[in-house]
Amino acid sequence: MALYFTTTQPAQLLARYKKMIDDKEVETWSYDQDGDFTHTPDQWRNKAWLRPVIETGRLAFYVIKPNGVNISTTVYSVYHGRFIESMLAHCDTLFTVGQATALPAASDKVA
């Protein structure tokens, strides 16, 4: 349930996306004081969070579930699909590949 964006500039990609949220160019995602992203439409708000991690050659996002609630397949598929869509729409020149894992990755916090 992780997202990976292959890029030579992962910190720049993350900074650019946050700035686009701050500038209201991206309206359906927000990030909190920890830097974790959530989808903002009422139906999806705070159903999960995506924690960015700068890794060698990529920007990764790992899923964090709300306390005491399991994340359904529907929730993580919506978060994954819409986040990749948003990154393609707003930052496509800053990465070469965007991909999602189907099952939890080691750094996901879903248990």
**What pLDDT does 103 receive?**
76
Instruction: With respect to residue 40, please indicate whether it lies within any of the assigned structural domains.
Output: yes
**Residue 80 resides in a domain:** yes
Token pair for residue 101?
């894992």
Q: Is residue 7 part of a domain?
A: yes
CB 50 within 8 A of CB 61: yes
Domain-located, residue 42: yes
Consecutive sets of 10 residues in the chain, 111 residues long: mean pLDDT of each?
95 98 97 97 95 97 90 91 97 97 71 57
Q: If we measure between CA atoms, which residue out of 65, 49, 73 comes closest to residue 109?
A: 65
Give a yes or no: residue 108 inside a domain: no
Whether residue 110 lies inside any domain: the answer is: no
Q: Residue 102 has what pLDDT? A: 83
Residue 110 has a pLDDT of 62
Find out whether 50 and 98 touch, Cβ atoms under 8 Å.
no
How much is the pLDDT for 10? 98
The pLDDT value recorded for residue 3 is 96
Q: Is residue 20 part of a domain?
A: yes
> Residue 108's pLDDT is what?
59
Q: Which domain holds residue 35?
A: 3-100
Asked whether the beta carbons of 34 and 23 are under 8 A apart, the reply is no
Report how far residue 75's alpha carbon sits from residue 92's, in angstroms, rounded to the nearest whole number: 24
**Number of domains the chain contains:** 1
Q: What is the pLDDT of residue 13?
A: 98
Residue 33 inside a domain? The answer is: yes
DSSP characters over 4-46: EEE-S-HHHHHHHHHHHHHTTSS-SEEE-TT--EEE-STTTTT
